[in-house]
Amino acid sequence: MPRLSYRKALTRALADEMTRDEAVFLLGEDIRVGASNVTPGLLKRFGPDRVLDTPLSEQAFTSFATGAALAGMRPVVEFQIPSLLFLVFEQIVNHAHKFPMMTGGQCAVPVTYLVPGSGSRTGWAGQHSDHPYSLFAHVGIVTVVPATPADAYGLLVSAIRHDDPVVVFAPAGALEVRDDVDFATLAPVPLGRGMVRRAGDDVTVVAVGHLVHDALAVAEELADQVSVEVFDPRTLYPFDIDALVDSVSRTGRLVVIDDSNRSCGIAAEIITSVLERVPLTAPPRRVTRPDGAVLPFSPALDRAVQPGRAALAAAIHHVTKDCP
Amino acid sequence: MTDADPARLYRTVRLIRRFEERAIALVRSGHIVGGIHPYLGQEGIAAGVCAALGDGDLVTGTHRGHGHVLAKGADPARMMAELCGRETGLNRGRGGSMHAADLSIGVLGANAIVGASPAILTGAVWAHRQRGNPVLGASFFGDGAVNEGMLLEAFNLAALWRVPVLLVCENNGYATTMPVAGAVAGTITGRAEAFGIPAVVVDGQDPEAVRQVTAAAVARMRDGGGPELVEARTYRFDAHHTFEHSVRLDYRPPQEVADGRSRDPVAIQGARLSPADRATIDAEVEATLDAAVAFALAGPEPDPAGALDHLYASGLTGRGGS
Ligand SMILES: Cc1ncc(C[n+]2csc(CCOP(=O)(O)OP(=O)(O)O)c2C)c(N)n1
């Protein structure tokens, strides 16, 4: 079976959607040569009118995409680094997201914002290592964080077909993941649908993005001590709370691991949403970046503020052993 | 439709003027909540520009946007209903004064974030043209907007990609209370020229002059030209917004206000008509606005159960707040 990398899955999704729908076009910095390695080859296939290199004008080209969407197109905007989302938060939140409501339903703004390489890229330091998905979930923008190549393909396809703005965070830590995939089985993955990646009985671990792989590894390591269920929400907004409640109703315990900051982060939201509906056997735990984290340069320091396997294992022990 | 008929132009400025006066009265009587930014004194710009555009062309407006929306042809009754927050409004009461939009006639909306809409308009015009629909666009913004970085980014994109958008700067001398001289280094036209965008200054108080300048620019743009900028010099007759009086701001010398008001676009365009023709149009506008106000006030308020209707075009619904 062919090996498909996460990165190539994104490229394939873009190409398939551009083939399927003339209204889909791409814009972003250096995408004609594919500097982030997600769009190589697309210029040759689809031409310069559908693969637009933009000047370094994030705010204008993000709103340009809004305008193009208002005129019936389906733009996909690629951002080279996640911090650029801070620059265009205004354009996405205040305009793209608000247009349908403010016009009383006169329009749709189907733009996809693709962020390949979000989160830490080890050694890229403070301004290149953010993972701001919680912000978008908070304002109510459809926010997806695929963990696997098949999901990267399927969620990006669904994002492009969706009639509202969608931010697709492709974590740097997942880009090199490769899976055996039968290309014929690649298909759209519905937005807002989570899945159990590994069944277990004692505790549910919710893991976001690349951390799904860490959670699976930790679950395997601890297999002789505790039976861990790993839940991958895939979409952070809207969140598949029903599926998670099902899982936690069986395990009675909850740990969330997510690569965003602690205060007002998605982990807090996930835990509260579960607690509103299910009594837990033990107090829940979350493993996140620290409050207000800025990623330090030194790889040792960078790792120290990222949620990792050791902290996850400790949290799992805490909710299972310390609160039997 | 490039409309050089002086009576049509007069009707538009008169309609905007009286719409604004009616709207201010409705603010004072509490029927319009939240206040408005009156366009009084600046009517000639929207009227002149839109008279030179085609029906299929697109416009974006500002927080002071009633004139832009009306001049492009929106129904005054549904517009007034929108200001009154009614279900019968252009935006079903979800947008109000600062977001009034009618996409069916190419009005992508008033936009309350200063300097935000030229980039949106540029994308919309570009997209239409990609699909073989040869439309143009006009984007209105104030003198305050020329200091917003994104506006200048939009100039660059429009020029680089030769997108035919008319950049219409309504220079009324102030951004809220900040005078142009205290805010704009260099010149407004210079901002455009730096991007290779042709720019002209026009007397914004003369609707016909605005129409002519726009018509010339539109002809060049239809011929394949890129963006152009028109700086229309104007004066805002009234306060920045309808609650300014309550905070008693003091920033415009009385003599300056008097001088500004002496150049009234409605009077200037009206002088091009016979008194009889003017009276006929005035009466017709009055009847239209009587009906508009009646329609607005008779419209139902939106059902609170639908407060989040239209939040998502996809039909997504989130969880409730309580
Ligand atoms: C980006 C932004 N900054 C500030 C404001 C608050 N504000 C609303 S209108 C206005 C003045 C705008 O001045 P100008 O562009 O000259 O337009 P005018 O009001 O004179 O028509 C300001 C500061 C805003 N809405 N958006």
Consecutive 10-residue averages of pLDDT for chain A (324 residues): 93 98 98 94 97 97 98 97 97 98 98 97 92 97 98 98 98 95 93 98 98 98 98 98 98 98 97 97 97 94 94 97 70
CB A113 within 8 A of CB A156: no
pLDDT of residue B320: 87
Which among A62, A90, A163 has the least Cβ separation from residue B314?
Answer: A163
Please state the ipTM of this predicted complex: 0.93
Query: One of A97, A128, A210, A213 is an active-site residue; which one?
Result: A128
pLDDT of residue A324: 61
B107 touches chain A (CB under 8 A): no
User: Does the distance separating the beta carbons of A60 and B153 come in below 8 Å?
Assistant: yes
Which among B95, B312, B315 has the least Cβ separation from residue A102?
Answer: B95
Burial of B232 (0-12, 13-18, 19+ CB in 10 A): buried
CA distance A52 to A86: 22
**Quick one: tokens of A213?**
């792989």
* Strands A235-237, A142-144: pairing kind: antiparallel
In chain B, what percentage of residues exceed pLDDT 70? 99
Nearest C-alpha neighbor of B146 from the set B163, B120, B167, B124: B167
Which among B94, B150, B316 has the least Cβ separation from residue A104?
Answer: B94
User: Does the distance separating the beta carbons of A104 and B103 come in below 8 Å?
Assistant: no
- Closest atom of ligand 1 relative to the B113 alpha carbon: 26
The model's confidence at residue B211, banded by pLDDT at 50, 70 and 90, is very high
Residue B1 reports pLDDT greater than 50: no
Chain A residues near residue B85 by CB distance under 8 angstroms: none
What secondary structure letter does DSSP report for B107?
Answer: B
Distance from CA of B46 to the nearest CA of A (A): 21
Distance from CA of B277 to the nearest CA of A (A): 37
What is the full DSSP assignment across B150-190? HHHHHHHHHHHTT--EEEEEEE-SEETTEEHHHH-SS-HHH
Counting every residue, how long is chain B? 322
**Which of A123-127, A245-249, B95-99, B231-235 is predicted least confidently?**
A123-127
* Strands B58-60, A285-289: pairing kind: unpaired
Burial of A83 (0-12, 13-18, 19+ CB in 10 A): middle
Residue B2 reports pLDDT greater than 80: no
Q: What is the mean pLDDT of residues B162-166?
A: 98
User: What is the distance, to the nearest Å, from the Cα of residue A65 to the centroid of all Cα atoms in its chain?
Assistant: 21
Chain A residues near residue B122 by CB distance under 8 angstroms: 60, 64, 67
End-to-end CA distance of chain B: 52
CB A229 within 8 A of CB A205: yes
Nearest C-alpha neighbor of B197 from the set B239, B245, B162, B232: B162
pLDDT of residue A323: 65
CA distance A301 to A33: 34
Q: What's the gap in Å between B164 CA and the centre of ligand 1?
A: 25
Q: What is the mean pLDDT of residues B311-319?
A: 94
Q: What is the mean pLDDT of residues B262-291?
A: 98
